[in-house]
Structure 1
Amino acid sequence: MAVHKLLDDLYEHSYSLIAIHSPLKDYRLAYFLNHQLSLKLKRTKDDFSYIENTSFSTFHYNDDTTDTAWHLITNISKNVVNETRDTDLFGIKSTTVLHYLVPEYKKVDYFLKIDNGDFFYQLNAVLKIINEMTHVVTAYTVDPNQLKSKNNLIFLSNA
């Protein structure tokens, strides 16, 4: 009798992933990316959430001429949790819990996901433009196949 094995990665999706370190707010970074790369990134109606009570703001642009989908997403989600305590003078203690979309890259502020198998040849030009932006500290490519949490990025397949 033959043994059949199911793999986790039944659907292998090819995309490029750029990690961006920047102190800018998400809407400001999207504005500068739109200006520098001639994109039209817009905030999605719903933020992405894979853990309860967390949300990662996302921006999306679908370029029909090159059949390329661009996604800008924050890597960090801050969740303020209030705890009531009777032993404290003020009674309420609030703590901030951080969640990461890609925990392997905790210092990365944003990810730019580019969905198009034919786009790989232009990736160096995009990286050069992003790195020359004033408020971007650095940007570099990340191999999605090396990530343990690559399944967190499938949500943006062709939204």
Structure 2
Amino acid sequence: MASVYKINDDFYDDSFFLIALHSTLEDYAVAYRLNHVLKSNLKRAKTDFELTKNSSFPFYEWQDELNDRYWVLVANQSTKKELVANTNDLFQNESTYSTPRLIPELKEVDYFLKIEDDESIDCEEIIKLLLGMPRIMAAYEVDADKLKSKNNLIF
């Protein structure tokens, strides 16, 4: 008989800030511009974050050892498409695909910037810098405690 392990909410340290980004840029261009504006060093992870076998999310990470922070830029849209079965439809012989989202309740968001920090960080200042970047239409803080799919942000 197989063992089942569950993550206890007390075990997971949720002291992080989550910033939603709206942009038409590709993920590598957003990371490049964030590195320039925030003086960060985000680099593409060796493997994408796979939530399920049909969803893969590219992400960039940086361990800021000077300030003891961990930064993650992750796309909200999967690079893999999911085949959806059509039944009793006008186009039932056609393939239909859906794009899985990391945080489905915020499907309009393109990227999330997650900053893990034990101290208080000036999130307002970071958002102000992000809004000054070209081709970033919107940037705002998201209350992660109100998200249903908060556990998807565990990397």
Give, in whole Å, the separation in 2 of the partners of 1:15 and 1:149.
15
The equivalent of 2:16 in structure 1 is 15
Q: For residue 96 of structure 2, what is the amino acid of its counterpart? A: T
Give, in whole Å, the separation in 2 of the partners of 1:26 and 1:7.
30
Q: Is the 8 A contact 1:30 1:41 kept in 2?
A: yes
C-alpha distance 148-33 of structure 1, shift in aligned 2 (>3 A): same
Q: For residue 68 of structure 1, what is the amino acid of its counterpart? A: R
Q: Counterparts of 1:75-154 in structure 2 under 5 Å?
A: 75-80=76-81, 93-120=94-121, 122-154=122-154
Q: Is the 8 A contact 2:17 2:115 kept in 1?
A: yes
Of structures 1 and 2, the larger Rg is shown by: 1
RMSD: 2.1
C-alpha distance 95-78 of structure 1, shift in aligned 2 (>3 A): farther
Q: Is the 8 A contact 2:71 2:113 kept in 1?
A: yes
Aligned length: 141
C-alpha distance 35-96 of structure 1, shift in aligned 2 (>3 A): same
Structure 1's unaligned 5+ residue stretches are 1-5, 84-91
More helix, by proportion: 1
What CA deviation, in whole Å up to 9, does each residue of 1:15-68 have, x standing for no partner? 000000000000000000000000000000010011112100000001100001
The equivalent of 2:51 in structure 1 is 50
Structure 2's unaligned 5+ residue stretches are 1-5, 85-92
| Offset at residue 8 of structure 1 (A) | 4.7
**TM-score, normalised by the number of residues in structure 2:** 0.84
Q: Is the 8 A contact 2:77 2:100 kept in 1?
A: yes
Give, in whole Å, the separation in 1 of the partners of 2:40 and 2:148.
30
Aligned pair 1:70/2:35, yes or no? no
C-alpha distance 150-13 of structure 1, shift in aligned 2 (>3 A): same
| Offset at residue 117 of structure 1 (A) | 2.2
Q: Is the 8 A contact 1:16 1:115 kept in 2?
A: yes
**TM-score, normalised by the number of residues in structure 1:** 0.82
Q: For residue 64 of structure 2, what is the amino acid of its counterpart? A: D
C-alpha distance 17-115 of structure 1, shift in aligned 2 (>3 A): same
What is the SS of the residue equivalent to 1:125?
helix
Q: For residue 136 of structure 2, what is the amino acid of its counterpart? A: V
